[in-house]
Copies of this chain bind each other. A is one copy, B any other.
Amino acid sequence: MRTGPESELAGVLAGLPLFAGLSREECQAVAAVARQESRPRGAAIFAEGDPGHGFYIVLEGRVKVFKLGADGKEQVLHLLGPGEPFGEVAVFAGRSFPAHAEALSRCRLLVIPRAAFRELLARQPSLALNLLASLSLRLRRFAQLIEDLSLKEVPGRLAAYLLMESDQNGGADVVRLEITKGLLASVLGTIPETLSRILARLSRSGLIAADGPLIRILDREGLAELAGGERRL
């Protein structure tokens, strides 16, 4: 088997959840129509309203997808790392990107053109199923974010975030923030000043111990109560 650049790329694709169940040939077909791009840190990938001629997969680096308010405030919708797709919505509905995307670090991206992808999709039920699962998961997360923004206060959102991060680490008591606190504020729907104050408050209350990007969970119960939206503290 030859291992040219396209074949190599196909191998990467075959390993992604999105393409699970596709034959090597089909992955090769995807790789053949895809185009690679790269972006320096801080560069825009697309803007809200841009025509969506295809969707993206992160090969290297990290990407944020976000909404921009009139005053410049950002609300992060997704944070993406290697292997994760974004921008699919524009392929299936509306044809324009519903939000902005920007490289958080130097990025290598794969662009998959709309038309070719839709053709493949019509022939590959398993691909459609994978996509449905992926979009459904995203809807679930959006629903959670809406709940957080509308029904919880900032301390509750932060508590929920910390517990979630801890769970993803197998329940470790120390959570390491992999993003700047400014970005975390945008994820939680607030601003850096407020986040800073809330972190200080939770520390004073003995729920957590914060040391730079390292946060130790001291009172899981208490955090869970906050995250649940209870009225305390």
Contact = CB atoms under 8 A, between A and B. Distances in A.
Interface of A: 67-71, 73, 75, 77, 88-89, 91-94, 98-99, 118, 121-123, 125-126, 128-129, 131-133, 135-140, 142-147, 149-152, 189, 228-231
Contact of A143 (B92, B137, B142): B142
A77 B142 CA distance: 10
**Which 6 pairs, one residue from A and one from B, show the smallest C-beta to C-beta distance?**
A70-B229, A69-B151, A93-B136, A128-B128, A92-B136, A75-B150
Contacts of A151: 67-70, 73, 75
A86 to B, nearest CB: 11
A150 B149 contact: yes
Nearest to A124: B125
B138 A139 contact: yes
B147 A145 contact: no
A129 to B, nearest CB: 7
Contacts of A93: 133, 136-137, 139-140
Contacts of A137: 93-94
Given A92-B133, A140-B98, A123 B125 contact: yes
Contact of A146 (B88, B91, B149): B149
A17 to B, nearest CB: 12
A27 to B, nearest CB: 19
Contacts of A123: 125
A18 B152 CA distance: 34
A1 B218 CA distance: 70
A125 B136 CA distance: 18
Contacts of A99: 143
A70 B139 contact: no
A150 B187 CA distance: 10
B128 A129 contact: yes
A77 B146 contact: yes
A77 B151 CA distance: 13
Nearest to A137: B93
Nearest to A78: B143
